[in-house]
Structure 1
Amino acid sequence: MIDTILNYLGNSSAITIFVLVLLSAYLVAVFWIFIYRLISINALLTNEKKSLESLTSRNTAVNPLSSLYKCSNGSSSKHILHACEISIIKDASVGISSLSIISSTSPFVGLFGTVVGILESFAKFSSHSKVGFSVIAPAISEALVATAAGIFVAIFAYTFHQILVRKVYELNTYIKAQAEILVAKG
């Protein structure tokens, strides 16, 4: 397996290697952003859920760990709470757009590597008088590795983007519910 990979990289052009390195960096970034944001958003969700449960129970106090409480400094002004909602959601969604960008661009980066690989293969074959399918097929299949890598990265980036968007939506729901209760209680 390792010999196959090393052979592939040894026969690849600089652009194909660059594309694969770029897609590898994309993949690392995707996992880094996802894990980091998932941990931080889950912590926010836990605090906001406890705070909402506290507000809806007999206890009328907001959980001091709540981001809404920290931002509003205990104020129940509708405008201050709304500004805090926006600020908290903005902070919670940092990095999520990067996943969207990576999910939409990585297939094109991979496709670029494939096109360059196919062009190089055809350039190599131009000096031969007769080239059969048995010679062309391996060269094209090697070139398609870049597209497969781009799609592989895009699948993870898109999936992680959707998971995080859903988590931010849940956070927004908890925060809005708390703000409405606080405004109603005055």
Structure 2
Amino acid sequence: MYCDRCGLNFLPKQSVCTRCKKVATRYWFQLMSLVTLLVALASNTVLGIFLLPRLMEAPHGRLLFRIWYWLDQNAALYGWVPLAGGLLAWDYFIWKEARPKVKGWLTRKLLTFSLAAGVAPMIPWWIPAGQPPGEFLSMISRYQGLPAMLAWSVVLVVTIILCIDPESRDYLLGHGRTLSVVSTGMLVLVLAMTLLGWSLTY
């Protein structure tokens, strides 16, 4: 990759240019996009806990906010599935040639384990080879949110492992422009829905 200021060619493993000691613009794009995405998700979580229950009882726009609440609930339970599948597909098709053996093996095993643990309760009882142990099923029935929390934790750990290293982060996030559009769009959508909710309530 090339430095935006002095034009020096340096490796993605290096966070700063060795000549002018400046951080590449794409890294700022990546950082600010991740921060914006985190703010949007945190805002949506706070709204789902404190504001949405009141908005669902409002006289106007009740259906809209019920749909929003339903989407939040299902994203919290099953949103890790497309993320884990997308990371596995990215690992196989894009990162395949440049991935380190140990890190690539670890991330694949973690994501495969999370997907297997999430799919195991849906396996029919009449398939004895695929049926999970009885202790596992009793634990799931006792703590219904536990599998989702474990799966989200695995996806979060894998994402942190990939984003700590500059080279794998560069492969995953690219220039950061697409992620910045997605994160900004999510933040604008959450703010627009919040303003709409306040206007309908008060």
* Pairwise TM-score range, normalised by the shorter structure: 0.3 to 0.5
Under a length normalisation based on structure 1, what TM-score does the superposition of the two structures give? Answer: 0.34
- Bigger fraction of residues in helix: 1
Larger-gyration structure (1/2): 1
